[in-house]
Chains A and B, each alone.
Chain A
Amino acid sequence: MNNSPYFLKPASVQSVMLRVLVALLPGIAAYVWFFGAAILLQIALASVAALAAEALMLALRGKPLMLFLTDGSALVTAWLIALSFPSIAPWWLTVLGTLLAIIVAKHLYGGLGQNPFNPAMVAFALMIVAYPQLMSQWPAAGATDFAGQWQAIFGARPLDAISMATPLDALRTALHTADAKASVAGVLGSNPAVGVVGGKGWEWVAAGYLAGGLWLLQQRIISWHMPTAFLAALCAIAGVFSLIDNTQFAGPLFHLFTGGTMLGAFFIVTDPVSGTTTPKGKLIFAAGVAALTWIIRTFGAYPDGIAFAVLLMNIGAPLIDLYTQPPVFGHKDKRGDSR
């Protein structure tokens, strides 16, 4: 029989995970509206693959199957993978990424709660390193023809017909090709994929994520530290550099509403397992992700930097936590970084 405390607050891992999934729905709805139902197919693929991999690993490790399978954590990983991968990527890309995420990044480290790296971002980074072409084929806004997308996913039809580069990718390619005349305004102005502030259609998906994220904040599933620090730091860095030279550096609004910024801010950076946990550490961690994201987007070789930025900060998370321990009751004056 258990010891004190003898009664617990009604809360469970499952309800936390479920609410995260619910918070993703507005973004997914916008995704379907602008880019077709392919994303639902990808989510289904990733979910099935994740649950299968989870069940396999749990069975191999001799853990109670139903208890852990129903905790929802595998589904969260699966959905994040589906949402961060191009929705018209071939089916095996999503499935392979999901399997690697669940098996290598999660269960080899002991499963839920013990993985030092964000599994979804491990999947993204592995796949973009291995298949850079396939990972850069994004659907064009308005291309909602499901039959064509089905064919793209299951391999019958060449991708190019329905895909185009994202604004981030286009901008990076243009500025990197040492074309002296290329400027942010020039590249973005002529690009049909660009909408009001970010990618056409993508900005609405981002708004959906933002809405879901705000709901998560209101539900106290995530704390304000990470999203705020992430978005503020990204704004600040992008703002300063675009002030310095707005032909070479895109402005803050562009950075906020393109790529995976909003998904990252509320659903990826906020992962408590692989991130930091102290209040100060959370601020440092999220600001670090923002800085690295901006650096990789601007100077690096990959179109979006969030995955790498998150993984890089994951590496430093234990140390950040170690050196930002909040002072303990009664030790407020002398503690700080004394460890």
Chain B
Amino acid sequence: MRKAMAEYSPWWPGAPYRLAHRMKRNVPMAEYSALSLLRNALGGNRDWAPAWRKPEPKPTYDVIIVGGGGHGLATAYYLAKEHGITNVAVVEKGYLGSGNVGRNTTIVRSNYLLPDSIRFYEHSLKLWENLSHDLNYNVMFSQRGMLNLAHTPGQADDFIRRGNAMRHEGVDAEWLTPAEIGRMVPGLAIGGSARFPVVGGLMQPRGGTARHDAVAWGYARGADRRGVDIIENCEVTGFLRDGDRITGVMTTRGEIRAGKVGIAVAGSTGHVMKMAGVERLPIESHVLQAFVSESLKPFIHTVVTFGAGHLYISQSDKGGLVFGGDIDGYNTYAQRGNLPVVEEVMSEMVALFPGLARVRLLRSWGGIMDMSMDGSPIITRGPLPGMYLNCGWCYGGFKATPASGWSFAWTIAKDEPHRINAPYTLDRFHRGAVIDEKGQGATPRLH
């Protein structure tokens, strides 16, 4: 035991702080810390309580959040924490976190081009930086850096423009030379015979990865501890209405009423909104595949993206390389993709890291993306009275989880958007005030 402690002794310095923190707030046993872990271990781990309750739905709440994924749970958490609104239900059709929060490549960053995007995602990144403490749940946010590789001088200028945009918004961004990149990312095909030599890279040192499931579980536990009812296996089958106004939801576990109903079901937005009579939205549902290799000893230490294709890669703490590429590029609600994208992603992977050809793909899965018409999300009141809509996350939902929940909670609580989500309206499309990071216009598969 002592030897094990020595190897991992660094967790001890934290314990007193956690203890003091707990005593001050007088929260019961459920607080997690190195100390509680040790005490429980000695007791055979028999005293751990459920991370969240499994309550029966009440007939009425102040707010119902449809969707027990990262965004819905974060919304409930911040409604309770920031706005004191605790009479809240989160209804989830399956198990908690069964959507994209558990199906992504876990990347967290705020390295965007357009000021509206930078401000929103930077707000998110700041929340991430304190999230484990805030939730008393280790979401394993590892700020190992986010590196975008550039392969032509023109691309380098584009990336530097983005880096400069970030710097002008007070966000960290650095330019790395090929030599610096070579030292940071061993095994990378930098130059020489490489078809797409690396001419440089934009680094956001504060970017990184987090443990995706832990984010859902941490928010769930945090919301639950503040009184929010999290109701799993409760599928919404329709909306309760008073005229135009949404007054609650019909579910497989009965009718539930509320003054406000927030929808946070990215991936199922079209399906759920259809029940509310909204047939058309500026969204298509697409599948994005993600991949994990077999577990390896540490191979790559930052998050890296390939600029001559579409590939992003990092390594999980368990050792699997986690990576992904483009969406399959067609409307679907099936959480599985097809071979051409698998082959494209692997081809880019070995082009970038020619040594990985002998490493093996272990698992693949698909998540359904709300691809919007400009590649940016929607966080807004409406489109019906009593309803609030959070959707259109394209690929970018995971890193946005804290700010999405935070700003959606604000919008629901105050009936107006916060400054950071004010641009993300539904009517921006009609006004022509799109937030189009890629400049591709209304072709969702290209965002």
Q: Do A and B bind each other?
A: no
By a beta-carbon cutoff of 8 Å, the part of chain B in contact with chain A is none
